[in-house]
Amino acid sequence: MSETSIASLVAHLPASANTVPVLNPSNGKKIYDLPQLDGGQVIEAIQAARSAQLDWAQVSVVERAKALSELHALMIADEAKLLDLLQLETGKSRAHAFEETIGAIASASYFAKIAVKTLSPTKTKPGVPVLTKTYVEHAPLGVVGIITPWNYPLALTMLDVLPALAAGNSVVQKADNQTALTVLFARHLAVEAGIPAELWTVVVGDGEEVGNAITNNVDYVAFTGSTATGRKVAARAAERLIGCSLELGGKNPMIVLESANMKRAAEIAIAGAFGSAGQLCVSIERVYVPNRFKEEFQEELVKRTESLKIGRSNDFTIDIGSLGGYNQLQRVMGFVEDAISTGATVLTGGKQLTDLGPYFYAPTVITNLNPNARMYAQEVFGPVIAVEGYEDLDAAIELANQTDFGLNASVIGNEKAAMRVASRLNAGSVNINEGFRASFASMASPMGGMKASGQGRRNGTGGLLRFTEARTIGIARGLIKLPSRAKQYEKMAPIMRLLTKFLK
Ligand code: NAD
C-alpha cells in the first residue's frame, strides 16, 4: 500500500504526537507510524458517536440494510486490496487471508438480508386477551464499544460492527495496533457505501487505557481477545451494569474415531491446526486418536505437515505464512521449549525458520505431552498440535472436556457416531469431519464459547439482537375498561379466573 493511501486512512484518527511503529511480520520492516490516543480522546470520540447515533436511530432499517448491501458490493470490488492489507499486517498466507475476507464479505450481505425481519416489532401473546395487546420493539442500545484483536481483524470487525450498526447503534471500535489499517480500510468502504462517517469511529492506543475508556463510557461492549483480558472487561462492564459479549480463547480438541480414515483425518487436522499459522481462536491444538491407530495417524500427520509450503507470497503458492510478530514468536517458542523440558517428543517442527523471515515458525507436531507441560491446558495460539492416544471413547470425551475452555471441538469419523459424540462435548461449536470451517463459515449459526471461552454469541439473529434492548409496548384496547376500584375487581374476578383456567 502506498504511503499516501496509508496517510489518508490514518487521517481518520485524532492527531497524537505519540506514535508506535507497526512492522510487517513477514520481513520485520516498518510499515508506518501509528498515532496512539489517550483516554480523553477516546471519551471525546464516544461523545461524538453518541450524538450521531440519535439521527441514525431514526433512519429506517430498510435504509440501513441498503448501506450494508452496498458495502458488500464494494468489498467484492476491493477484494484484492483487502487481501494485500491483511497479509501486510498479519503475515498470513494468501489462502488464509482469502478465507477470512470471504467470510467478512459474506457477513455484509447476511446482516443486510436478516436486518429488516429480525428488527421488526414482534407481536406477543397479551396477558389479558381481547382487552390488551402487546408488542416487542428492538431498540438500539446507543454507543457500542467493540474491542478486536490482531489475528482476524477484518472478519471479527465485520461480524460485530455491522450488526451493531444495522441495529441502529453507533460504534467506537478499538482496533489492535498491529492491524489497524485493515480496520480503517473496512471503515472507509463502509462510509463510501453510505454509512455516515461519524457512526463508526476507530481508536487505537494502549490496550488498558483505551480499552478502559471504552468500557467506562459506552452502553455495551463486544470484546474479542484473550480470556485474561475478557475477565477484566467483564468485571468493569458488570460494575456499570452494561451488557457485554465476550469471544475469548480456546484449547480446542479433535477426537478421531475408530471409523475414521487416518489419511483423511490427518489432512483435516493440518487444516484445523495450522490455519493462519494456528493463530486462530477455533484452531485445533490437541488430537485424541485410538491407541491402535496412533502410529499410523502420526506418520500421516508428520508427512503432511512436512509437505506444507511455508513463506511469504501475495499469491496462492504458499500454504502457511508468518507468525504475527515478535511476541507471538516468543510465546510459541516458550510453550514448545517448556513441553520439551517436561518430556514431550517433537515429531516435526519445533523450530524457528529464520531463513524465511524474522517470525516464521515451523508447523509442529508433538506427542508424549506431560500433563504438567504448560501447553497441556493453556492455549498456545500458534502452529502446534499435540497427539495423544486413547483406549476407549468415553475416556477420549472426558479428556476433550477436561479444560477450562469450551470454544470449538472436532470429531472425525462416521457421521452418525460423530454426531453422538458431538452432543457430549462442552464446546460452543463442534465440527464433524472438519476442524473449524464448517461451523465458522455459517453466518446464520451462533458462534461463541462455553466456560472460560466466553459469554454470548455472535452471528445468527442473536448476534444482531444482542445489540438491541427489548422494549415491550402494552396497549389497553379500551373495549372494556381495566378495573381500578376494588368493587370492579370483584366483578371481573370470576371472568379472569375462567380465562386463566381455560386459556392457560
Ligand atoms: P488480548 O486480550 O491481548 O487483546 C485483545 C484486544 O484487547 C486488543 O485490541 C488489546 O489492545 C485490547 N486490550 C488489552 N488490554 C485491555 C483492557 N484492559 N481492556 C480492554 N481491552 C484491552 O488478545 P490478543 O492476544 O490480541 O488476541 C489473541 C486472543 O484472542 C487469543 O486468546 C484468541 O483465542 C482470542 N480470540 C478469540 C476469538 C473468538 O472469537 N473467540 C477470536 C479471535 C481471537
Write out pLDDT tens, residues 70-127. 999 999 999 999 999 999 999 999 999 999 999 999 999 999 999 999 999 999 999 8
Closest CA relative to residue 9, chosen from 195, 180, 210? 180
What is the Cα 135 distance to its own chain's centre?
A: 32
Low-confidence winner among 8-12, 247-251, 341-345, 447-451 (lowest mean pLDDT): 8-12
Packed helices 207-217 and 227-240: angle between N→C axes, nearest 10 degrees = 30
> For atom 35 of ligand 1, which residue has the closest CA?
225
Q: If you average pLDDT over every residue of the chain, what do you get?
A: 97
CA-CA distance, 84 to 107, in Å (whole number)?
20
Task: Tell me the β-bridge partners of 136.
Answer: 122, 472
* Domains (range + CATH), the chain: 37-119+139-248+458-468 (3.40.605.10), 252-445 (3.40.309.10)
Q: What is the pLDDT of residues 115-171, one digit of tens each?
A: 999 999 999 999 887 889 999 999 999 999 999 999 999 999 999 999 999 999 999
Write down the catalytic residue from 89, 99, 281, 379.
281
Mean pLDDT of 390-411: 98
Tallying the residues shown for the chain, one arrives at 504
Residue 144 alpha carbon to ligand 1 centre in Å: 17
- The reported pLDDT for the residue numbered 291 is 98
Decide if 295 is catalytic. no
348 within ligand 1 shell (Cβ under 6 A): no
Q: Which residue has the cell 508433538?
A: 366
Mean pLDDT of 15-27: 96
- The reported pLDDT for the residue numbered 504 is 66
Q: Which of 224, 378, 407 to mutate to test the pocket of ligand 1 (most atoms within 8 A of CB)?
A: 224
* CA distance to 107, 331, 386, per residue, from 346 (Å): 39, 17, 9
CA-CA distance, 276 to 153, in Å (whole number)?
12
Write down the catalytic residue from 70, 89, 247, 379.
247
176 within ligand 1 shell (Cβ under 6 A): yes
Decide if 244 is catalytic. no
CA-CA distance, 147 to 209, in Å (whole number)?
12
Closest CA relative to residue 152, chosen from 53, 214, 225, 210? 225
- The reported pLDDT for the residue numbered 222 is 98
379 within ligand 1 shell (Cβ under 6 A): yes
Which stretches within 120-240 are classed as H helix?
Answer: 153-166, 180-192, 207-217, 227-240
Q: What is the pLDDT of residues 458-468, one digit of tens each?
A: 999 999 999 99
